Amino acid sequence: MSEIESFFKSAFSVDNVIFGFDGNELKILLIHRGAAPFKGKWALPGDLVYPNEDLDTAAERVLEQLTGLRDVYLEQVKAFGAVNRHPLGRVITIAYYSLIKISDYIVTPASFAQSARWHSVSEVGELAFDHNEILNTCLKRLKLKVRMAPVGFELLPPKFTLTELQQMYEAILSEKLDKRNFRKKILSMNLLLDLNEIQEGVAHRPAKLYQFDQQNYEQFVAEGFSFGL
Amino acid sequence: MSEIESFFKSAFSVDNVIFGFDGNELKILLIHRGAAPFKGKWALPGDLVYPNEDLDTAAERVLEQLTGLRDVYLEQVKAFGAVNRHPLGRVITIAYYSLIKISDYIVTPASFAQSARWHSVSEVGELAFDHNEILNTCLKRLKLKVRMAPVGFELLPPKFTLTELQQMYEAILSEKLDKRNFRKKILSMNLLLDLNEIQEGVAHRPAKLYQFDQQNYEQFVAEGFSFGL
DNA sequence: TCAAAAGTGTTCTTATTACACCCATGG
DNA sequence: CCATGGGTGTAATAAGAACACTTTTGA
């Protein structure tokens, strides 16, 4: 085998940390591996990238095959390429994370989707390959991102209460926030549309429902505003 | 060719945006391509990754072959993998940036180093491949990073004046900073060691020389401090 | 003595923090 | 009428922004 050919004896994959929020905890969707290597371990959903497929497209495909969801928030984080990260050959992987509304997720018929399950981020054990490292990197990135841009809304249903919003941030950042200060700040940004609706069927004073105002956000950004929490 | 073989008909490379600061402007080191594709264009230094080489190692190698420098600040940014980004085949590239002290750079004997030249970031023209996109992404990342961590010092000589420090930040962020506020803030962090030395041979009042106090920084971080500018 | 950059504080404005009670609803 | 979470304001502190003159040196 010539030297130049040996360069092409390698493959690349994408792996996707799919985050969801159940109203309480930050979760990720993991696949139970039914085959070697790492048979029996939990792993991030991922796949080899097709020869004629863009990286982002591959990550979207993995997500859609597993969840049936399209047009989801997806961000590339970085490449992981340690020589021995894959026991069967030289495979570098490009890590993504995505944010989905956990209630939109329904187990799809795809065979590997049958073995998928949500895990609390705080209770993830030892994963296949270098997936713990990938998860940690993606989580760190999400924590940064969620303070710098209004991406957290991707985890919530279209209508949400301020408490839900706050709990989502607390779950991601793993820190408690002050209720009054949080509300003051988030409302002062004028990014929440008051729907003049309230919760129903709760055994306490019902909370007002809000919606993220994407249009306002885009206008404010165009005017020089930058989100910060 | 079987399907599985086709996955391995691909290669990956690293490309490195090497930043330097000449006391005035932010610069990058580009290579003038002597061969197709993109013959005659300027390009980011890069190379295919050896089959048994980690990604970070490959980026370090590219940097060392070009500049002779080792133990340099290097950060992976992301992977670029559009299907047609390389005219000769499927090659995804992992982008890095590095920060070097421009005065340490001496043209090395390596053949491709002969065709390297510093370019002002603001005057970079159309580059080979998708290298303009890579450069922009790396520059954006550097702007973020330099506010969140004391990496800018990597661009300065070991002894520097406060004005030099400020000009470095201004060059990276492309914005003017207030002299008094800048000094107040940076000195209040206790990350600068006053060397009790002054500039020599300048035709004006000589400035005091400082050094970045890595040891203090690490201790402060351990105690929960986080750099912010 | 001139030119050139170094060095230095205060005031004002804005953002952040800390903190406790009453309200509306369902059971 | 009780339990549960919803909703609200103010005062103190800290951080950021704006701003102009004197000092030191070499030529």
pLDDT in tens, A162-183: 999 999 999 999 999 999 999 9
Percentage with pLDDT > 90 across chain A: 90
Q: Are residues B122 and B180 in the same domain?
A: no
Last residue of a domain, one of B145, B179, B194: B145
Q: Are residues A31 and A102 in the same domain?
A: yes
| pLDDT at res. B114 | 78
CB contact (8 A) between residue B12 and residue A10? yes
Q: Which residues contact A110 (CB under 8 A, 6 or more apart)?
A: A65, A66
Instruction: List chain B residues with CB under 8 Å of A55.
Output: 79-82, 92
Reported as a single tens digit per residue, the pLDDT across A3-42 is: 545 555 689 999 999 999 999 999 999 999 999 899 999 9
Would A56 be classed as within a structural domain? Answer: yes
Average pLDDT of the residues in A95-106: 94
Supply the pTM of this predicted model: 0.95
CATH classification at residue A131: 3.90.79.10
Q: Are residues A111 and A203 in the same domain?
A: no
Would A229 be classed as within a structural domain? Answer: no
| pLDDT at res. A110 | 73
- The contact set of A with B (CB < 8 A) is 6-12, 48-55, 76-83, 89-90, 92, 94
Number of cross-chain residue pairs from A and B with Cβ atoms under 8 Å apart = 77
Task: Report the alpha-carbon distance of residue B214 to residue B216 in Å, rounded.
Answer: 6
What's the token pair of residue A84? Answer: 């021995």
| pLDDT at res. B112 | 74
Q: Are residues B19 and B130 in the same domain?
A: yes
Task: Determine the structural domain holding residue A179 and report its residue range.
Answer: 162-223
The count of domains in chain B is 2
Using H for helix, E for strand and C for coil, what is the string for A105-173? CCCCCCHHHHHEEEEEHHHCCCECCCHHHHHHHHHHHHHHHHHHCCCHHHHCCCCECHHHHHHHHHHHH
In Å, how far are A136, B55, B57, B145, B146 from B8, measured between CA atoms?
28, 17, 22, 35, 38
Give chain B's residues under pLDDT 70: 1-9, 111
Q: Is the CB of A228 under 7 A from strand C?
A: yes
The shortest CB-CB distance from A10 to any of B11, B54, B77 is to B11
Reported as a single tens digit per residue, the pLDDT across A39-89 is: 999 999 999 999 999 999 999 999 999 999 999 999 999 999 999 999 989
Banded model confidence at residue A109, pLDDT cuts 50, 70, 90: confident
Q: Does the pLDDT at position A106 exceed 90? A: no
Q: Are residues B29 and B85 in the same domain?
A: yes
**From the C1' of D18, which residue's alpha carbon is nearest?**
B178
